Structure 1
Amino acid sequence: MALAARSRKKLEQMELMLLTHTPVYTLELHSPSGKSHTLLPSSLFELEEWREVIDKLTKDVEDEESLCGTLSVAVHSACGLQQPTSVYVCVEVDGYEFYDKQVQTHTSVPSLNPHWDQVDGAQELRLLCVSESAGQHDAVLGKASVKLDSKTLRRRWRRQTLRLGQVEVTLSLKYCAHPLDPPSATAPQKPVFCVSIETLAQQEGVLVPHVVRCCVEEVERRGLDEVGIYRVSGTSSDIGTLKAAFNSNLREAVTRLRSAEVNVVSGVLKLFFRELPEALVPPKIFQSLAKTLEIQDGASRLASMLSLLQSCSEPNRHTLLYLLHHLQRVSEKQAVNKMSLMNLATVFGPSLLRLPVVGLGHDGPTMDISQEVVVQVQVVFCYLQCNNLPEAQTSRPHDSDAEDETTHK
Structure 2
Amino acid sequence: MHDLLVVGAGPYGLSVAAHAAAAGLDTRVFGRPMASWREHMPRGMFLKSEPWASDLSDPEGRRRLDAYCAEQGMTARHGQPIPVETFAAYGLWFARHAVPELDERPITRVAARPDGFEAVTEDGERVSARAVVLAVGVLPFVEIPAVMRSLDPGLVSHSSHHCSLDGFRGRDVTVIGGGQAALETAALLAEQGTRVRVLVRADRLRWNDVPPPLERPRTRSLRSPHSGLGCGWRNWFYAERQGLYRRLPEATRLRIAATALGPAGAWWIRERVEGVVEVLTAHQVTAARPVPGGVRLELDTPGAGHAPRYLETDHVIAATGFRATLDRLALLSPGLRADLATTADGAPVVGHTFETTRPGLFLAGLITAPAFGPSMRFVQGAGFTARTLLRGVRRHLHGSRPSGTVHVPVGRDLRAGAGVAGTT
With normalisation by structure 2, the TM-score equals 0.25
Q: Which has the larger radius of gyration?
A: 1
Larger helix percent: 1
Relative contact order: is structure 1 or structure 2 higher (C-alpha 8 Å, sep ≥ 6)?
2
With normalisation by structure 1, the TM-score equals 0.25
